[in-house]
Structure 1
Amino acid sequence: MKRLALCIVALLATACDQQPAGEPVTRTRIDGQQGAPSASPSPAETLTSQVESACRSVIFENTPLTHCLAVPARHRIETALAGEDGANYRGLQALSAALDPETVAFAMNAGMFDDEGDPVGYFVEGGERLKELNTADGEGNFHMKPNGVFYGSDGSWAVRSTEDFLANVTERPAFGTQSGPMLVIDGKIHPEITADGPSRLVRNAVGVDGQGRAHFVISNAPVSFGKLARFYRDELETPNALFLDGSVSALWNPATGRLDGGAPLGPLIVVTKRATAPQ
């Protein structure tokens, strides 16, 4: 009995020994099991975990990433641009001051913007379209076509290329944000993205898997487009994934106290907790 008790104590100690999401140097499993974590969460790890945080640290091809998962049964997704005073938030600090952190699973920057912090592409907040779909040609990442749209309503979320969205989405979603380039299109990496190009920045992106779950990833070190795209295609197995931004990318994770600062931001994505799971 004494030996069994010691074993139980040891197991409990192991299960509690976890690092908060956002720590890039330590690879720990969020489910309390022994051994190194996989590069991406398996469905069993994600859906059975009792850890409050929706985000966890992973290592992919020697690069530290933070992966945050939104599940329709547990979360709602909204976009946010300005506060009640009409002024753009311009950062996660201002957003965090306006919201109850107990209701927020996590938040991230949501796409590219102009000098005033207004989105340069399609943007819908609370069912209201604040910016029309941008199909113009131009320079920069946004115009590295195909670009795309992340959108959704009532717990149904999707990523589509801009052309696909324009041709097939006829009803205005509850939220939507356009950015670019697409990282993965119908299971294939964007044709202009090289395997591991010289451009390395802190970057973030979003993709939706076959179960309808939204995978948000932010790198904790500079990462190439190619490596980030491979993570979505090979590890998260999202048929479509959209680059959100680089250099200014930021995360707010109330569960671990992470609140990134830095350069001013534009549109934001807020993932909130459902009060009760639907029956």
Structure 2
Amino acid sequence: MKRVTILLATSLLSLAACDQPQAGDPVIRTDISGEKGKEVAMKADEAPPPSPSPTPTPSETAQPEDSACQPVRFEDVVFTHCVADPAEHRVRMVLGSPTFRSLAKFSASRPDNAPRVAFAMNAGMYDGEGKPIGYYVEERERLQELNRNDGSGNFHLKPNGVFYGTGGTWRIKTTEDFYSTVGDRPDFGTQSGPMLVIDGVIHPKISEDGPSKRIRNGVGVDADGKAHFAITARPVSFGQFARFFRDVAKTPNALYLDGTVSSLWDPARGRMDTRADLGPLVVVEFKD
């Protein structure tokens, strides 16, 4: 048993290290771990922040009765796939004042009579204080305006987009489409980027399997209006992540939420990822 544990730990460490630079001369890399994407100088023998180690998901065959999240194996990677159904769930954004920065702090803040949480996840990119850098609406209050600026990093890999909704109607639009067609303020909204899938087609700037691999999370909305959230168990490329939404979740439009810091709270399965440097959170609650 001890030998199996050691081998498993070694395997996990090798996965976390797959994006680390090789020793040698200093290099310039783009930090896309959760902020706008700043060019930072880093010596080649310095490792980037490690990918999070989420709480292990129970057996892939385990099916908790009231869990909205299920493990799905796709292209040899396990994705945790969580589905929010307008008939059963409500969606809202949560930031906190001061910002919670972790799912655990948000969980601890909830009163005993609060609606049951189906699942929660980090949802959008943010600055050093955890505040959103793009459009953000919480309980119909707009805390950040739509960001149409150009820049570096994932957020500015145009087209980016907005996940938003009012009542049980949830949508994802590109930022420019949102700007041109949405006049009324929604109940909730978060802007992130890039778009992963646009009208059934993968973002034109996303390669089939690029060199950047991260634990990632995102959201898509299917033709029936259900919101599909996904988080990967190990680092994947943008291409593989986008294909999951196109081919498995079957969402015509899907939006990247973040990478490296990606975290999930799934109460039914007893999973609470412990990253403590998050920004906006999306919370899916049971209507009952």
TM-score, shorter chain, exceeding 0.5:
yes
Which of 59, 63, 66 pairs up with 2:73? 59
The answer to whether residue 60 in structure 2 is matched with residue 27 in structure 1 is: yes
The answer to whether residue 220 in structure 2 is matched with residue 198 in structure 1 is: no
Deviations 1:145-181 (A, max 9, x none): 0000000011100010001100111100000000000
Give the Cα separation in 2 of the matches to 1:22 and 1:94. 16
**How far 1:28 moved relative to its partner?**
1.8
Give the Cα separation in 1 of the matches to 2:242 and 2:81. 14
Which of 107, 116, 122 pairs up with 1:96? 107
**How far 1:24 moved relative to its partner?**
5.7
**How far 1:29 moved relative to its partner?**
6.7
Deviations 1:211-234 (A, max 9, x none): 000000000111111001001111
Find the counterpart in structure 2 of residue 76 from structure 1: 90
Cα distance change on mapping 1:26 and 1:253 into 2, 3 Å: closer
**How far 1:22 moved relative to its partner?**
6.8
**How far 1:87 moved relative to its partner?**
0.9
Give the Cα separation in 1 of the matches to 2:257 and 2:102. 15
Preserved contact between residue 54 and residue 106 of structure 1 (Cα < 8 Å):
yes
**How far 1:193 moved relative to its partner?**
0.4
Give the Cα separation in 2 of the matches to 1:145 and 1:261. 31
- Partner of 1:262, secondary structure, is coil
Q: Which runs of 5+ in 1 are unaligned?
A: 1-20, 31-49
Deviations 1:78-134 (A, max 9, x none): 00001xxx2110110100101258610000001000000000000000000000000
Moved over 4 A (4+): 21-26
- Partner of 1:68, secondary structure, is strand
Code of the residue aligned with 1:112 in structure 2: it is M
Which of 154, 162, 169 pairs up with 2:175? 162
Give the Cα separation in 2 of the matches to 1:27 and 1:126. 35
Preserved contact between residue 22 and residue 66 of structure 1 (Cα < 8 Å):
no
Q: Which runs of 5+ in 2 are unaligned?
A: 1-53
Which of 229, 232, 236 pairs up with 1:219? 232
Q: Which moved more, 1:230-239 or 1:240-249?
A: 230-239
Code of the residue aligned with 2:123 in structure 1: it is A
The alignment covers a number of residue pairs equal to 233
- Partner of 1:27, secondary structure, is coil
Give the Cα separation in 2 of the matches to 1:140 and 1:182. 13
So what's the TM-score if we normalise by structure 2?
A: 0.78
- Partner of 1:65, secondary structure, is strand
The answer to whether residue 266 in structure 2 is matched with residue 253 in structure 1 is: yes
RMSD across aligned C-alpha pairs, in angstroms? 1.7
So what's the TM-score if we normalise by structure 1?
A: 0.80
- Partner of 1:119, secondary structure, is coil
Give the Cα separation in 2 of the matches to 1:159 and 1:29. 31
Code of the residue aligned with 2:287 in structure 1: it is R
